Amino acid sequence: MSETRATPLGESAHVDTAVPTAHLSVLPQDPRPGALFGRAFAYWLTVYRRTWLGSAISSFLAPLLYLGALGFGLGTLVNRSGGGIGGVPYVEFVAPGLLAATAMQTAAGEASYPVMGAVKWQRQYHAMLAAPLGTVDLVLGHATFILVRITLACAAFTAVAAVLGAFAWPLAVVGALVAVLCGAAHAPTIMAFSARQDNDGNFNLLFRFGIIPMFLFAGTFFPVTQLPGWLQPIAWATPLWHGTTAVRQLTLGRPDWGEIAGHCAYLALWLGVGLLVAVRAYRSRLVS
Amino acid sequence: MSNATRSWAQPIVRALPIPAGAGMARMLVERNGRSVRTFWPTIVSGFFEPVFYLFSLGVGLGTVVGSVDAGGGTVVPYAVFVAPALLASSAMNGAVFDTTGNVFFKLKYARLYDSVLATPLGPRDVAVGEVTWALLRGSAYAAMFLLVMALAGTVTSWWAVLTLPAALLIGLAFAGVGMAATTYMRSWQDLDLVQLAVLPMFLFSATFYPLSTYPESIRWLIQITPLYQGVALARELALGMVSWTTVNHVAYLVVLGLIGILVAARRLDRTLLS
């Protein structure tokens, strides 16, 4: 028995609904969990080699359009009335924000629909678990692929922003690395969320009440201090604010290394704890 | 389907003014209305997105930007300037999303229209029904947003009441074009092309800063885009700066919407009945 389904975002899937998966957990697995994550990573990379063009608009073009419209268009207004933000021309203020936000959005896009698709629609995870791979391999392999996607998006944005003169060179390279960490910090938590979903309805809520508000309020377009007092602590707690703040110091060429280390440590915490949570989520959804 | 839902849904959808030649379109609208119960959080959460944008740009960024010349020497706070533009662009986004992604899914994957055409409904009913549905949804969002605009103090004129029908008109224009575009789509990858048209319009149609920011030589390029027409219409109404230009915006959007629906209906005749 089989049926064809489609995701609202994309790929149609041929789904074998009659294949039992419960027995998969008793297959012999590599003694060291995670040792085979490279196999899972290679799978996602192979798929991406054939489909990368489709992501070009959302990951490369969209952030640059935002930079053009806000940095240069809106920037003329900001610079005219207030001399930029804290003496910084608006395009230089907003560009690092957009870089960190692009990293987050790439992570969120790759860790949501594709993860649920691999559980439910296309079921690649089930195929992988039928091989000697375990849940740790699945999580690490997919997360590594997401890391590659974030890195590509950040590299493209950084190159263009530097050419346009919005970034201080060469510290912007370090800024781009911090932005990659910022994206990576978001990925595993969202993977864990996605692996537990039964349909894509909650993704709308994830984006509308998580990703988009962070994009709008966590320091991308204006300093968090402009927000009402009660909102500021919420903004400070978001990983995006830490990413944006650290990236901004670097691309402006005024790093406070102690502060940046603190922000990076917070992001690394999200990444590490997120990976543990993701492994648990995958295990409970796919194996037990 | 519970009887309770049926009792409130039916009178509303049956009372809709449906153009001649598409007598059964209301049945498709009713079908869409009934299917809402399976994805209502998506519908409800749609109210929040433009509101978040309004507060982020109007309140957060507004203090940084200060006041803006809305044209004709009228200087207004940034929130007042940007709010009608957000109303117009969310009307566009909603209509485009509904008539491209959602309709494409129903056309190619859910095969909804194959079963619709097995009933007395025809392709024209499908086109008019889907556009009507997109408009209903869009007007609900626009009404809520207008209320938030008023509560936030960004409405300065009684003309602003007319931004509601203006948002409907913008939705109609883009829903027509979106339906027409969908009949040409081959795969989900083509949805990226839709984004390629929608996103630059959202960002560059004098949405976030006045037209005068652009060099004189490229202003015409901005002015011929449909979203610019919508944004200008909504802004002129919200700020009470009504003139003959306002009528031009309306005419532009009416013509665009009619062309879109005609093309969509013709194309659906061909793709669905062949």
pLDDT in tens, B77-130: 999 999 999 999 999 988 898 888 888 888 887 888 888 888 888 777 887 888
How far apart, in whole angstroms, are the C-alpha atoms of residue A159 and residue B125?
50
Query: Could you tell me the two tokens for B269?
Result: 């005749």
pLDDT band at B136 (very low <50, low <70, confident <90, very high): confident
State the nearest Cα–Cα gap between A210 and chain B, in angstroms. 11
**Interface contact flag, A208 B204, Cβ < 8 Å:** no
| pLDDT tops 70 at residue B15 | no
B14 vs A164, higher pLDDT: A164
CB burial of B146-178 (b: ≥16 within 10 Å; e: otherwise) equals bebbeebebbeeebbebbbebbbbbbbbbbbbb
Per-residue model confidence (pLDDT) at position A199? 82
pLDDT, average across residues A115-140:
92
**A221/B57 CB distance under 8 A:** yes
**pLDDT confidence band for B154 (50 / 70 / 90):** confident
Contacts of B49 in chain A (CB under 8 A): 208, 212
Range with the poorest average pLDDT among A117-121, B12-16, B69-73, B225-229: B12-16
Tokens encoding A218: 């966590």
- Number of Cβ within 10 Å of residue B4's Cβ equals 8
Instruction: Return the sign of the alpha-carbon dihedral for residues A58, A63, A66, A72.
Output: negative
pLDDT at A85 over 90: no
Distance (Å, whole) CA A282 – CA B67: 51
Looking at chain B, which residue has its C-alpha nearest residue A208? Answer: B49
Question: Mean pLDDT for chain B?
Answer: 84
**What is the reported pLDDT for B274?**
64
Quick check: B195 and A9 CB within 8 A? no
Flag if A65 and B203 touch (Cβ within 8 Å). Answer: yes
Q: What is the mean pLDDT of residues A84-100?
A: 92
Residues, chain A, total?
Answer: 288
Q: How far is A214 from chain B (nearest CA, A)?
A: 10
**Which candidate in A102, A222, A227, A230 is best for mutational testing of the B interface (most B CBs within 10 A)?**
A222
- Give which of B37, B59, B64, B195 to mutate to test A binding, by max A Cβ within 10 Å: B64
Alpha-carbon span B240 to B159, nearest angstrom: 5
Cβ-contact B10, B30 below 8 angstroms: yes
Q: How far apart are CA A276 and CA A280, in angstroms?
A: 6
Contact A133, A25 (CB under 8 A): no
- DSSP code of B121? -
Interface contact A82-B66, CB threshold 8 A:
yes
Write out residues 60-79 of B within 8 Å (CB-CB) of A: 60-61, 63-68, 78
What pLDDT band is residue A8 in, cutting at 50, 70 and 90? Answer: very low
**What local confidence, expressed as pLDDT, does residue B19 receive?**
43
Q: What letter would DSSP give residue B266?
A: H
In whole angstroms, how far apart are CA A224 and each of A179, A235, B84, B189? Answer: 18, 7, 25, 37
Average pLDDT estimate for A133-158: 95
- What is the rounded (10 degree) CA torsion for A51, A56, A58, A60? 150
10 Å CB burial of residue B52 (0-12, 13-18, 19+) is: middle
Distance CA A224, CA A245 (A): 10
Q: Are B83 and B238 in contact (CB under 8 A)?
A: yes
Of B48, B110, B203, the CB nearest to A208: B48
Structural contact between residues A250 and A174, judged by C-beta atoms closer than 8 angstroms: yes
**Do the chains contact at B188 and A9, CB–CB below 8 Å?**
yes
Alpha helices (H) in B186-243, listed in sequence order: 189-204, 219-223, 226-238
Nearest to A154 by CA among A201, A98, A114, A88: A98
For an interface test with B, the pick among A57, A79, A113 (most B C-beta atoms closer than 10 Å) comes out as: A57
Q: How far is CA A200 from the centre of its chain?
A: 18
> What integer pLDDT is reported at residue A25 of this predicted model?
53
Of A264-278, B102-116, B172-186, which one has max mean pLDDT? A264-278
Q: Per the CB < 8 Å rule, is B105 touching A78?
A: no
A217 touches chain B (CB under 8 A): yes
Cβ of residue B208 closer than 8 Å to a chain A Cβ: yes
Best-predicted range by mean pLDDT among A19-28, A168-177, B114-123? A168-177
Q: Residue range B176-201: average pLDDT?
A: 86
